Amino acid sequence: MSGDHCTFDELIGTVEGNEYEMCHAVAGVLTLVSREVAEKVTGECVFLSFEGDGEYLPAGILAGRSVVGLASEFVARTKNNLTKRTEVILRACAHHMLGHQTGWDLKNQGEEDAAMALAHEWLSEWTG
């Protein structure tokens, strides 16, 4: 593992989102990436869990930040599959770090592949 990493305790107060468990999961995953990446993601993204038919996001919450959306049952569903949880969260963070501009409904296979490659790179640095 190379570079300086944030601890969970450092990150938990900086992950903004609308669901307690999800924020904890994101903070845990962000301990795997460099401090630079973790601080950029937590400073520029808000993590939102969506359920039902729609949600309202006040302008003050976004404040020019990117939104990472996760299904409301995501954390519970991946409780026993931390590899899947980690990959999904890292892929979403990789999209942000790579400056991707496609939204939820407009998938771009090139962007998906690049984000997954970066997520796997981060994982291999951690496990390497």
* Residue 95 counted as domain residue: yes
pTM: 0.86
Q: What is the pLDDT of residue 46?
A: 92
Determine, yes or no, domain membership for 15. yes
Residue 1 lies in a domain: no
Residue 67 placed within a domain: yes
The confidence score (pLDDT) of residue 24 equals 95
Task: Please tell me the total count of domains within the chain.
Answer: 1
Q: Strand (E) positions, the chain?
A: 45-50, 66-71
- Whether residue 28 is contained in a domain is answered as yes
Give the distance from CA 64 to its chain's centroid.
Answer: 17
Could you tell me if residue 74 is inside a domain?
yes
Task: Identify the pLDDT of residue 1.
Answer: 43
Question: What is the Cα Rg of the chain in Å?
Answer: 14
Q: What is the pLDDT along the chain (128 residues), one digit of tens a residue?
A: 445 999 999 999 999 988 899 999 999 999 999 999 999 999 999 998 877 666 667 777 777 888 898 887 888 899 899 999 999 999 999 999 999 887 666 678 889 999 999 999 999 987 76
DSSP state of 51: -
Q: pLDDT at position 59, please? A: 75
Note down the domain range covering 55: 8-127
Tokens of 23: 């924020």
Whether residue 33 contacts residue 122, with contact meaning beta carbons closer than 8 Å, is answered with: yes
Classify the C-alpha dihedral 111-116-119-120 as positive or negative.
negative
Q: What integer pLDDT is reported at residue 51 of this predicted model?
A: 73
Predicted pLDDT at 126 = 79
Check: CB of residue 67 under 8 Å from CB of residue 57. yes
Q: Closest Cα to residue 47, out of 6, 9, 92?
A: 92
Query: Per the domain annotation, does 3 fall within a domain?
Result: no
